Amino acid sequence: MLIVPEREIANLMTRDAAFDAVEGVFAAMAAKDAYNFPVIREAIGHEDALYGFKGGFDKAGMALGLKAGGYWPHNLEKHDLINHQSTVFLFDPDTGKVRAMVGGNLLTALRTAAASSVSIKHLARKDAKVMGMVGAGHQATFQLRAALEQRQFEKVIGWNYHPEMLPNIEKIAQEAGLPFEAVPLEGMTEADVVISITSTFAPSIMADHISEGTHIACMGTDTKGKQEVEAALLARSTVFTDEVAQSISIGEAQHAVAQGLIRESDVHQIGAVINGTHKGRTSESEITLFDGTGVGLQDLAVAASVVELAVKKGVAIEVDF
């Protein structure tokens, strides 16, 4: 068995490799070559932790396995550890023998950033100039850094519920040599691309905060009850997602479907756009909305990619198991 520890991931995994892995697995999912297993997520009644498993099998990429982990809210204060903890296990699809154990913390951030980035590549207008961010927490910095590589952006605008966190994303804009402007939510109408990545249960972004022609990637809603955007915005948009079943149950589309504003058949797989079986954006004025719920296959894809890189660089630890 190979082990790739968390400490090695930053030196191995690139944004390009994460992008390719995630784009590939979204395509495989739409072609029905890959599928996600039902997600298990439990409040374990200890340390207020949420723990679970996300798994799947990608027959195209031959990745079989699961990510185990979750959220321990007191880690930082009690143990100086980050609150999200996860590990990916990969198995040989031919034999079932465990193949690798891979640190999953940074990989989760990178695969989530790659997902919104893939959606921008395939759905945003080519002439997009203004990048809008709603959210400025841990994940927002990753999303923004990856997004800025997708178009020739000239400016970043941002809003956050906790304005004192905005310097987190301002720093990323500056690193990319772009001006940053803090705006009220109404100011988001200037954006050609918006990413929302917050943990809110009440929508911040209203339908009229988004202009015609915009692409919006909603990345924060990954649980029943969470909601970042007004359901009416989904009715105004062409809606895409990683996984339709998740989108309508735990993703942003859960609310619009529950309110009867859209139907399940109105939610399209991003993989179909990648494969060319869905036309994607069809006009300059269309609003495209990507509901990124986060699937286990993304984790397996980036883990498989990092194992390959670790073997190439000679840093994978081999144990007899």
Rule CB under 6 A: say whether 112 interacts with ligand NAD: yes
Rule CB under 6 A: say whether 203 interacts with ligand NAD: no
Rule CB under 6 A: say whether 160 interacts with ligand NAD: yes
**Residue 97 annotated in active site:** no
The smaller minimum CB distance to ligand NAD, of residues 119 and 238, is found at 119
Rule CB under 6 A: say whether 199 interacts with ligand NAD: yes
Alpha carbon distance 61, 282 (integer Å): 30
Rule CB under 6 A: say whether 197 interacts with ligand NAD: yes
- Select the span of 34-42, 57-65, 95-103, 158-166 touching ligand NAD (CB under 6 A): 158-166
The Cα angle at residue 168 between residues 80 and 218, in degrees rounded to 5: 100
- CB neighbour burial string for 235-265, b if at least 16 within 10 angstroms, e if fewer: ebbbbbbbbbbbbbbbbbbbbbbeeebbeee
**From the list 36, 198, 227, 254, which residue makes contact with ligand NAD (rule: CB under 6 A)?**
198
- Point out the catalytic residue in the list 54, 59, 67, 171: 67
Least Cα distance to 145 among 164, 169, 167 occurs for 169
The smaller minimum CB distance to ligand NAD, of residues 199 and 275, is found at 199
Could you report how far apart the first and last alpha carbons of the chain are, in Å?
6
| Half-sphere exposure (Cβ direction) of 201: Cα atoms closer than 13 Å | 3
The smaller minimum CB distance to ligand NAD, of residues 88 and 316, is found at 88
Give φ, ψ of 177 to 5 degrees. Answer: 75, 25
Rule CB under 6 A: say whether 227 interacts with ligand NAD: no
By beta carbon distance, the residue nearest ligand NAD is 137
Count residues near ligand NAD (CB under 6 A): 22
The Cα angle at residue 262 between residues 217 and 206, in degrees rounded to 5: 50
Q: Which residues are known to be catalytic?
A: 67
What is the binding site for ligand NAD (CB under 6 A)?
Answer: 112, 135-140, 160-162, 165, 197-200, 204, 219-220, 222, 292-294
